[in-house]
Amino acid sequence: MKWEEVRELYPNQFVLLKDLKSHIENDKKIIDEVALIRTIEDKEASKLLVKCKGDIFVFHTAKEELVIQRVENWLRYEMCNML
């Protein structure tokens, strides 16, 4: 599913997503396709945000682009999870 579809179906909500296809552009990870796992209540979002790892993540549909933080920080985070 494309990000635009998720935004249209679930406006102004937090969603739990799985990265199906992504690429790196400059220093950012751009998510091209996702699988929607479920919508998330606002009060639950921050709890899930810190628990997610790998290709599962939380995002808010108010954001126009589905871009994950700087790759340098993302790679550091992924490497720390491997230790």
What are the tokens at 39?
Answer: 């919508």
Q: What is the pLDDT of residue 76?
A: 47
Q: Is the pLDDT of residue 81 over 60?
A: no
- pLDDT tens per residue across span 6-62: 999 999 999 999 999 999 888 788 999 999 999 999 888 888 877 778 889 999 999
Q: Tell me how far apart the alpha carbons of residues 75 and 70 are, in angstroms, rounded to a whole number.
A: 9
Q: Number of structural domains, the chain?
A: 1
Q: Tell the residue number behind the tokens 């935004």, with chain if given.
A: 7
- This prediction has a pTM of 0.78
Write out the residue range of the structural domain in which residue 70 sits: 3-82
Whether 20 and 35 have beta carbons less than 8 Å apart is answered as: yes
